[in-house]
Structure 1
Amino acid sequence: MGWQSTGLSWPHDGPVLGWRRSDGAGRGRMSVLAYGKELGFRAEGERRCTGARGNPCPIAAVVPVRTTGARCPECARLDRAHSVAADTIADDPRPYRVYLAWFGPGMVKVGITRESREAARLREQGAVVFTWLGRGPLMAARRTEEVLRSALGVPDRIPYARKRAVRGELPGVVERAAEVEGLYRRAVALEGSGWPETLERLPFEAVDHAGAFGLDTVGASAGAVSGRVVTGLADGGAVGGRLVAAAGPDLHLETAADGFVVLDTRLITGWDLVGGDARAVLSVPVTAAGGGGVQDGLF
């Protein structure tokens, strides 16, 4: 019996892969990933729905190999219906935070996240730099997000392909922080004319994740973080290599025979996975850098 990945998470400063038994027995486990270390696995069988809200899919539906959600339509609907992003739980009493996230030059988004999650969501999105803007009730945070998105001309979502494309050519720490600070000052200038009164403004502090992502090391050169992209797994398909960097759901691997590749770990959920040779020839579909979807829910 193999294991199924529950995805890449960022509980602290480094990436962690979650796993559960394919048969659902026993407790899950976590694998802390370290840059410079090798990893390898092989997919078996068919990719099946991961269920919704912690519950297994009742029919174990087969799902497409190239989707990032790994859920059948019914489970996807159930999962979405209980998310903050769907605006179905407007009475959520928990505090939320509004943030500005920077992914590369001219690539900034505004968003909100539950305060108890701290900066985990920013790392999950692959934000190289971010700053908090304010904190308060959900609807106040949501309203502020909408106001700032319109006033600053920034989106609430950025395609992962665009984020990947710029990781190897980032400006320095000072330049990164300066661009975020400029937008922060424009945002707080709207206080009183657009911000809800119940949203508390927070001071500017640029938090830089380049070190946590491994992007400031020699190994994370332009070639190392902008290589080809895995587009999906297949029965018997093998992936392996040396981890040189990670950001959001992406693992940037240096393979023994195929150069640098990017693995979006959302594509491995739903598969039965067994250990494999980290130096084996890559045997899954890949495409040139630039492929990829838009990030999933924001919370």
Structure 2
Amino acid sequence: MAQAWKCSGLRWSADGPVLLWDGGRRSALTWGKRVAFGVAEGGVRTCVGARGHACPARVAVPGRSTGARCEECARLDRAHSVAADTIADDPRPYHVYLAWFGPGMTKVGITAVERGSARLLEQGAVCFSWLGAGPLMAARRTEELLRAALGVPDRIPYAEKRAVRAALPGAAADRGGEVAELHARAVALGGWPESLVREPLRVVDHVEVFGLAGVSGAVGSVSELVAGGVVSGELVAAAGPDLHLATGGGVVVVDTRVMSGWELVPAVSGELSVPVREFKEAAGVQDGLF
């Protein structure tokens, strides 16, 4: 019987995207690489636990959940989360940033300065610019100020991000235009905390890093894995947690967060056989095997 592995997520390194596996194994991902795996027959997706600890009850979790955690482990995981606003005394300095994901999709956010641009890569930001840096609470206040004054959100759903990747402007200057405009409006505002140091506009573009230049638009995304199902395709791009795989039916996006909690084995078939949600919003079309 083939050895089963459990995926613990996609991370971005200096050399590109890397799949992490329980036990410390790493799989570097390069364009053109064949990505193929199956879900063990009769398998059940179980909670991945919280903050490095296994779920004591090994609770079964829904296939479409991107968190792959039971209610208790999800609560524990968010109990020490900057994103959930549960930490106020983190002594580390934080960046405030503007991130652009596609036309009309710009958000404001914060990330620890020591993390560099890792958070932007994890979110799938096509381009971004820093706005300032300072203590956590000052960064939080600035984020709220800009969200209200500029009318930009602090969250954009992944489904919306991936749906517009095929329509990105071809020129980096065009992709960075909204960020530049919002940056100028942001630095002109009053009310910034004194402890937050403003930073000049410097748009960083990730299209080449993500491999999105010239890539065919995706026809849909894997909505969930299922026992006995297979994912197979050639890696043509990756952004945030998403892998863009070229299959016989076109490019399909795999959100690697739906892989966690499953026991995965080497694929015995070269065909994609898991539910895929089509991007075209045709009336009466339901999820089905692609």
Q: Mind listing any 5+ residue stretches in structure 2 that lack a counterpart? A: 282-290
1:277-296 deviation digits (Å, cap 9, x = unpaired): 5x6121111111279xxxxx
- The aligned runs of 1:63-82 (5 Å cut-off) are 63-82=61-80
| Code of the aligned partner of 1:283 | S
1:241–1:253 CA contact under 8 A, matched in 2: yes
Q: How many residues align?
A: 276
Is the counterpart of residue 38 in structure 1 residue 37 in structure 2?
no
- The aligned runs of 1:219-298 (5 Å cut-off) are 220-222=215-217, 226-255=218-247, 257-277=248-268, 280-289=270-279
CA separation in 2, counterparts of 1:241 and 1:127? 24
1:18-51 deviation digits (Å, cap 9, x = unpaired): 001xxxxxx3111110011111001121100000
CA separation in 2, counterparts of 1:28 and 1:40? 20
1:135-181 deviation digits (Å, cap 9, x = unpaired): 01000000000000111100011111211121112112111122211
State the shift of 1:258 in Å: 2.9
Residue in 2 that maps onto 1:174: 173
CA separation in 2, counterparts of 1:69 and 1:135? 29
CA separation in 2, counterparts of 1:289 and 1:114? 34
Residue in 2 that maps onto 1:209: 206
State the shift of 1:86 in Å: 2.5
CA separation in 1, counterparts of 2:178 and 2:81? 31
State the shift of 1:13 in Å: 4.9
State the shift of 1:11 in Å: 2.6
| Code of the aligned partner of 2:246 | E
TM value normalised by structure 2: 0.92
CA separation in 2, counterparts of 1:178 and 1:261? 29
1:134–1:202 CA contact under 8 A, matched in 2: yes
How much identity, in percent, do the aligned residues show? 62
CA separation in 2, counterparts of 1:50 and 1:86? 19
- The aligned runs of 1:47-58 (5 Å cut-off) are 47-58=45-56
The correspondence for 2:153, drawn from 152, 155, 171, is 155
State the shift of 1:60 in Å: 0.9
CA separation in 2, counterparts of 1:39 and 1:88? 37
Residue in 1 that maps onto 2:185: 186
TM value normalised by structure 1: 0.89
Q: Mind listing any 5+ residue stretches in structure 1 that lack a counterpart? A: 21-26, 292-299
